[in-house]
A and B are shown apart, each in its own frame.
Chain A
Amino acid sequence: MCFTNFRCFKSKKLKLMNYNETIEGILKGSRKHLAKAISLLESYREDDLLIAQNLLDELMPSTGKSYRIGITGIPGVGKSTFIEAFGEEILKFEPKKKIAVITIDPSSPKRGGSILGDKVRMNSLSRHENVFVRPSPSKGEQGGGALKTYETCLLMEAAGYDIIIIETLGVGQSEYKVGQMVDAFLLLHMPATGDELQGMKRGILELVDLLIINKCDGKLEHEGKLNKKIFEQVFHLSATKKKWSPPVLLASSKEKEGVGVVWQELKKFLLHQKKTRDFQKKRENQALECFNQQLIFKLNKKIREKETKLLSYEAIQEKIKNGLLCPSKAAQIVLENLMKA
């Protein structure tokens, strides 16, 4: 059974949670209310999602005042450990800052349950009074995972968090999507040999604002320094197109070295962005992009819901597969039918 079907079920009764209390709670920074609102966003139920949407809409005036930082890197590169060291470093310099962390854990493909263990790796950060860590099961792409992450960000901003860190899954399309919804995108890399560097996803490098070579301790230190040179060259070559050439930094989150520099460099980048007004432009585009995607997402869902009344969706797909129907013509038919319905 596929759980995405559950969103079709209609609600019997509204959630017990008090709507106004939740809004007030979030604005006051209540952990409980923020947590519950995020759960609403993650719900499989249509009625929950509608409530979440209204909530967010009311909270919009209080959003936008944070730095959104995406952190990517392959599984095992030490993202969580890095975030722990990084978060603690920020709090050392700026103890009044409130930090929220969103981590995305893989769901078991077969049955859909997840084991979410990220707080384990952010042991001492997650204990901190000013820190809110929320691990989310990925639910795969079709759940609109990235869109939910964006909206979770907004909720956290409304609750007064100044810095929002999003840790990606480390594989797949979601990397790009997260890269396109943050103010700064950090790539964590592990010292590796030349061959392994070849295999790095070029697309990701283009989104990156800061590259950190992590685990530069012990035996890997030398390798790390070599890698730094290579990356610097890569960025240098493509720097003409961009106004910002991403710095390449060495760090060891285990030894807690170099992590402070990352924060300083990141702030430099963000200030640079603000000065050039790129920051604002990026955000505007991201909001519009989110709107576009939501529109497509909702439209798609509508079409599927109506499919029984319309010309069978499956039948159309079958025709397209067999080359009997031109895809653009097919889309036209479906759209026209939808307008009529």
Chain B
Amino acid sequence: MSESWKSWQEMAQKEAKKDDIEIYRLSPESIPIKRLYVKESLSKEAKDEYPGQAPYKRGPKATMYTGRPWTIRQYAGFSTAEESNKFYKDALSKGQKGLSVAFDLPTHRGYDSDHPRVKGDVGKAGVAIDSVEDMKILFSQIPLDQMSVSMTMNGAVLPILASYVVAAQEQGVSSQKLKGTIQNDILKEYMVRNTYIYPPAPSMRIVTDIMHYTTHNMPLFNSISVSGYHLQEAGADSALELAYTIANALEYVRAAIASGLKVDDFAPRMSFFFAIGMNFFMEIAKLRAARVLWYEMMKEFNPKNPKSSILRTHCQTSGYSLTEKSPYNNIVRTTIEAMAGALGGTQSLHTNAFDEAIALPSLESSRIARDTQLILQKETDINHTVDPLGGSYFVESLTSELIKKAKSIIKEIDDCGGMVNAINAGIPKLRIEESSARKQARIDGKEEIIVGVNDFVDAKNNQDFFDVRVIDNEKVYRLQKAKIEKLRKERDTKRVQSCLKKIKTSAADKSQNLFVTVLEAMKARATVGEVSETIASVFGRYHSPIQSISRVYMENMSEDQSFKKAVENLNSFIISTGRRPRILIAKIGQDGHDRGAKVIATGLADIGFDIDIGPLFQTPQEVAKQAVENDVHMVGISSLAAGHRTLIPELISALKQVKCEDIAVSIGGVIPQKDYKFLLDAGVATIFKPGTSIPECALQILDVLNQKS
């Protein structure tokens, strides 16, 4: 070590008043973050690297944003196809360059809007699409040969992609000209988010069937978008997100090759999707590391086309980092995250709207989100030079550390015999849940500060000052129902039946391409639900086993004052009632985001509650039945997909029907403040605001229960 290093160390020791000054902290990924990085921090083998050249650390293209800036691609969709179409056209006229479609949960899970299980979710967290007719309306007056369209669809990927292809054909655009991306990344659905339909093995076949079709018929279309985004949103740290995304991608490559494709036929059309959270430099390093990892890992398959091992990615700022308290702060957060995405070299970007922790984005909040990117592109000098942070001691070191870390996680998956096996064994899910519980403990213990939430709290909450978008779910439901009825009356039923029969045959016969038969069925105006049910009659619907972890939360919190207080109150509750407080934590409807529910379940069990976890995708009546049989004190509903206005009153009336109105109902998740009164009037006992720590939740629950008894 040099003289300067030594004298820096001495000075730093004095300033920091500590002997050990080298390591500042351990990152969530357990990477030691040093106070200072110097030239020696770089690995000895470090050499000059160029963008557009292997291993592509500095970017997939030689000129990067100096040639063309990243694509501003905002994810949007809600209500009916008509409403979303209007919204898209407006956004495109104001500087947005590509479309990204959000579908509602019933569509994701392969149900038609009129299916009895899904009523409360229709048109809520995305647009409801039941058939080609809806798809045509969605893209009406949007020329599909010019517009790149990204579709977040995994479960019902067959009928949705097929509807899009048919809608384009009927617009006069052949599939050869279609450009865009279908997410088609089913593996992560089993780890987080849960918008799958079928079990893993047949789902993998669907993935490869689509890859086959797009490879041969849609050369400009990305056949898959391997997504880490949802992993980070579910609480995975950056290393887990990175490693599992790459591991998933490798699993798809292996499956595609096993199904007869050549690596260079499809790999150039694989794309990626990462989340960008608040760990600014870590996220920049993550994108750089991802490109290197992909390049290195793809060597296994001997690609001849360099494009096969170049990682291209879309990014989205983190929804998890957005807060319900002081929501304008979210504009700042999103800006910082967007910068990290740009400095990491993303190919396209979605910036979240500031009100997304509260409701679906409004017109105004969407504008600000879009303008954030325009400001970065037009007003700053960020895209005036390629990979501006290349060579930074810190960023380069972090990049290498992340690569190392990710490799060891990928190895754990390889040791299980690949990702499908690892998922069946429940490993990735467990790792992510652990990471998520630890993060919650850091936030509750104020080790991680979120301004306005767990520190520097503004007494006056300014949520009342702006409008949030409200979806009239009943109205969407009626409209969709009418459209489906009309469709069923006007179509050639015999033709549809024969198409569905063919789907059934091809589902059972691996040598056929399922997508081709689905395409015919959609052309004949079969519905998304009919096609999905037909396939489910062969593959079955998948029910995810729910595992739960314990004690991770407690280990990090047991010294915390509020934790101790919660334990104390719980003990006195047991003394007076003779039972542990028993809570059913449930999700209703088609919203499969269960990170919040899981974290709460673990945390409360660690405090001493008896926790029942309900299966996913329950109807209100089913939740009520479970609550009654288990004789719980309270049902806690976690709602993230805006279904609460319909589903909660239904739950309360279902409980009344069996004369169990003494079971309290509470709710947490994404609940706009203006819905509070509605919910309380409907009979909800208590509402957990986002950002409430788990011990606070526990105290809140015990208060309610003590009042009741």
Binding site for B on A (CB under 8 A): 1, 3, 6, 9, 12, 31-32, 35-36, 38-39, 42-45, 47-48, 81, 108, 110-117, 119-121, 123-124, 126-127, 132-135, 137
* Contacts of B554-602 to chain A: CB distance below 8 A: 554, 567, 571, 574-580, 601-602
Q: How far is the CA of A202 from the CA of B658 in the complex (A)?
A: 46
With beta carbons under 8 angstroms apart, the residue of B548, B567, B659 that contacts A111 is B567
Q: Given contacts A6-B574, A6-B578, A32-B660, are A110 and B629 in contact (CB under 8 A)?
A: no
Provide the residues of chain A in CB contact with B602, threshold 8 Å: 115
Return A254 CB to nearest CB of chain B, in Å.
9
Provide the residues of chain A in CB contact with B629, threshold 8 Å: 31, 35, 132-134
Q: How far is the CA of A126 from the CA of B614 in the complex (A)?
A: 10
Provide the residues of chain A in CB contact with B660, threshold 8 Å: 32
Provide the residues of chain A in CB contact with B614, threshold 8 Å: 119-120
Q: How far is the CA of A119 from the CA of B612 in the complex (A)?
A: 8
Asked if B607 and A111 make an inter-chain contact with CB atoms under 8 angstroms apart, the answer reads yes
Provide the residues of chain B in CB contact with A126, threshold 8 Å: 615, 625-626
Q: How far is the CA of A6 from the CA of B578 in the complex (A)?
A: 7
Provide the residues of chain B in CB contact with A43, threshold 8 Å: 578-579
- A-B contact list, 19 entries, CB within 8 Å: A1-B571, A6-B578, A31-B625, A39-B579, A43-B579, A108-B550, A111-B606, A111-B608, A112-B580, A113-B607, A115-B613, A116-B611, A116-B630, A117-B546, A117-B548, A119-B613, A120-B545, A121-B543, A135-B612
Q: How far is the CA of A308 from the CA of B406 in the complex (A)?
A: 62
Closest partner residue, chain A, to B609 (CB atom): A113
With beta carbons under 8 angstroms apart, the residue of A36, A44, A114, A123 that contacts B578 is A44
Q: How far is the CA of A45 from the CA of B613 in the complex (A)?
A: 26
Provide the residues of chain A in CB contact with B574, threshold 8 Å: 3, 6, 44
With A44-B578, A108-B606, A120-B613 known, 13 other A-B pairs at CB within 8 A are: A3-B580, A39-B631, A43-B578, A45-B578, A81-B545, A113-B604, A113-B607, A113-B608, A114-B605, A117-B547, A117-B612, A120-B543, A126-B625
Return A29 CB to nearest CB of chain B, in Å.
12
Provide the residues of chain A in CB contact with B547, threshold 8 Å: 117
Provide the residues of chain B in CB contact with A108, threshold 8 Å: 550-551, 605-606
Return A91 CB to nearest CB of chain B, in Å.
16
Provide the residues of chain A in CB contact with B610, threshold 8 Å: 113-114, 116, 137
Q: How far is the CA of A116 from the CA of B582 in the complex (A)?
A: 10
Binding site for A on B (CB under 8 A): 543, 545-548, 550-551, 554, 567, 571, 574-580, 601-602, 604-615, 622, 625-626, 628-631, 658-660
Q: How far is the CA of A132 from the CA of B628 in the complex (A)?
A: 10
Provide the residues of chain B in CB contact with A113, threshold 8 Å: 580, 604-611
**Which of the listed residues B554, B609, B614, B615 has the most CB atoms from chain A within 10 Å of its own CB?**
B615
Provide the residues of chain B in CB contact with A36, threshold 8 Å: 631
Provide the residues of chain B in CB contact with A115, threshold 8 Å: 548, 550, 601-602, 605, 611, 613
Asked if A35 and B613 make an inter-chain contact with CB atoms under 8 angstroms apart, the answer reads no
Asked if B625 and A127 make an inter-chain contact with CB atoms under 8 angstroms apart, the answer reads yes
Q: How far is the CA of A81 from the CA of B551 in the complex (A)?
A: 26
Return B575 CB to nearest CB of chain A, in Å.
6
With beta carbons under 8 angstroms apart, the residue of B546, B551, B579 that contacts A120 is B546
Closest partner residue, chain B, to A34 (CB atom): B629
Return A43 CB to nearest CB of chain B, in Å.
4
Q: How far is the CA of A9 from the CA of B613 in the complex (A)?
A: 30
Return B668 CB to nearest CB of chain A, in Å.
17
Asked if B613 and A31 make an inter-chain contact with CB atoms under 8 angstroms apart, the answer reads no
**Which of the listed residues A38, A47, A108 has the most CB atoms from chain B within 10 Å of its own CB?**
A108
Provide the residues of chain B in CB contact with A124, threshold 8 Å: 543
Q: Given contacts A1-B571, A113-B609, A120-B614, are A32 and B658 in contact (CB under 8 A)?
A: yes
Closest partner residue, chain B, to A254 (CB atom): B199
Return B544 CB to nearest CB of chain A, in Å.
8
Asked if A35 and B630 make an inter-chain contact with CB atoms under 8 angstroms apart, the answer reads yes
Q: How far is the CA of A236 from the CA of B609 in the complex (A)?
A: 47
Q: How far is the CA of A120 from the CA of B576 in the complex (A)?
A: 31
Return B220 CB to nearest CB of chain A, in Å.
39
Return B438 CB to nearest CB of chain A, in Å.
17
Q: How far is the CA of A12 from the CA of B610 in the complex (A)?
A: 24
Provide the residues of chain B in CB contact with A44, threshold 8 Å: 574, 578-579
Provide the residues of chain B in CB contact with A111, threshold 8 Å: 554, 567, 606-608
Q: How far is the CA of A120 from the CA of B575 in the complex (A)?
A: 30
Return A228 CB to nearest CB of chain B, in Å.
24
Provide the residues of chain B in CB contact with A116, threshold 8 Å: 610-613, 630
Provide the residues of chain B in CB contact with A45, threshold 8 Å: 577-578
Provide the residues of chain B in CB contact with A38, threshold 8 Å: 631
Q: How far is the CA of A122 from the CA of B613 in the complex (A)?
A: 12
Asked if B658 and A31 make an inter-chain contact with CB atoms under 8 angstroms apart, the answer reads yes
Provide the residues of chain A in CB contact with B612, threshold 8 Å: 116-117, 119, 135
Closest partner residue, chain B, to A84 (CB atom): B543
Closest partner residue, chain A, to B605 (CB atom): A113
Provide the residues of chain B in CB contact with A119, threshold 8 Å: 612-615, 626
Q: How far is the CA of A132 from the CA of B554 in the complex (A)?
A: 33
With beta carbons under 8 angstroms apart, the residue of B543, B606, B611, B628 that contacts A35 is B628
Asked if A114 and B611 make an inter-chain contact with CB atoms under 8 angstroms apart, the answer reads yes
Closest partner residue, chain B, to A101 (CB atom): B629
Q: How far is the CA of A3 from the CA of B578 in the complex (A)?
A: 10
State the 4 A-B residue pairs at the shortest beta-carbon distance, nearest first.
Answer: A45-B578, A43-B578, A35-B631, A113-B605
Closest partner residue, chain B, to A114 (CB atom): B610
Q: How far is the CA of A115 from the CA of B607 in the complex (A)?
A: 12
Q: How far is the CA of A129 from the CA of B69 in the complex (A)?
A: 59
Return A100 CB to nearest CB of chain B, in Å.
9
Q: How far is the CA of A3 from the CA of B611 in the complex (A)?
A: 17
Asked if A9 and B579 make an inter-chain contact with CB atoms under 8 angstroms apart, the answer reads no
Asked if B551 and A110 make an inter-chain contact with CB atoms under 8 angstroms apart, the answer reads yes
Q: How far is the CA of A132 from the CA of B543 in the complex (A)?
A: 20
Provide the residues of chain A in CB contact with B607, threshold 8 Å: 111, 113
Q: How far is the CA of A95 from the CA of B602 in the complex (A)?
A: 37
Return A12 CB to nearest CB of chain B, in Å.
8
Return A220 CB to nearest CB of chain B, in Å.
13
Q: How far is the CA of A137 from the CA of B611 in the complex (A)?
A: 9
Q: How far is the CA of A134 from the CA of B626 in the complex (A)?
A: 9
Closest partner residue, chain A, to B570 (CB atom): A113
Asked if B628 and A32 make an inter-chain contact with CB atoms under 8 angstroms apart, the answer reads yes
Q: How far is the CA of A133 from the CA of B625 in the complex (A)?
A: 10
Q: How far is the CA of A32 from the CA of B626 in the complex (A)?
A: 11
**Which of the listed residues B548, B567, B578, B602 has the most CB atoms from chain A within 10 Å of its own CB?**
B578
Return A141 CB to nearest CB of chain B, in Å.
18
Return A87 CB to nearest CB of chain B, in Å.
14
Closest partner residue, chain A, to B544 (CB atom): A120
Provide the residues of chain A in CB contact with B659, threshold 8 Å: 32
With beta carbons under 8 angstroms apart, the residue of B571, B622, B631 that contacts A127 is B622
Provide the residues of chain B in CB contact with A48, threshold 8 Å: 578
Return A125 CB to nearest CB of chain B, in Å.
11
Provide the residues of chain A in CB contact with B611, threshold 8 Å: 113-116
With beta carbons under 8 angstroms apart, the residue of A1, A31, A42 that contacts B579 is A42
**Which of the listed residues A48, A115, A123 has the most CB atoms from chain B within 10 Å of its own CB?**
A115
Provide the residues of chain A in CB contact with B606, threshold 8 Å: 108, 111, 113
Return B606 CB to nearest CB of chain A, in Å.
6
Asked if A134 and B579 make an inter-chain contact with CB atoms under 8 angstroms apart, the answer reads no
Q: How far is the CA of A330 from the CA of B629 in the complex (A)?
A: 46
Q: How far is the CA of A6 from the CA of B545 in the complex (A)?
A: 35
Return B635 CB to nearest CB of chain A, in Å.
13
Return A263 CB to nearest CB of chain B, in Å.
21
Asked if B546 and A31 make an inter-chain contact with CB atoms under 8 angstroms apart, the answer reads no
Q: How far is the CA of A132 from the CA of B608 in the complex (A)?
A: 25
Closest partner residue, chain B, to A122 (CB atom): B615
Q: How far is the CA of A43 from the CA of B580 in the complex (A)?
A: 9
Closest partner residue, chain B, to A132 (CB atom): B629
**Which of the listed residues A1, A3, A119 has the most CB atoms from chain B within 10 Å of its own CB?**
A119
Closest partner residue, chain B, to A80 (CB atom): B545
Provide the residues of chain B in CB contact with A47, threshold 8 Å: 578
Return B421 CB to nearest CB of chain A, in Å.
11
Provide the residues of chain A in CB contact with B622, threshold 8 Å: 127
Provide the residues of chain B in CB contact with A135, threshold 8 Å: 612, 630
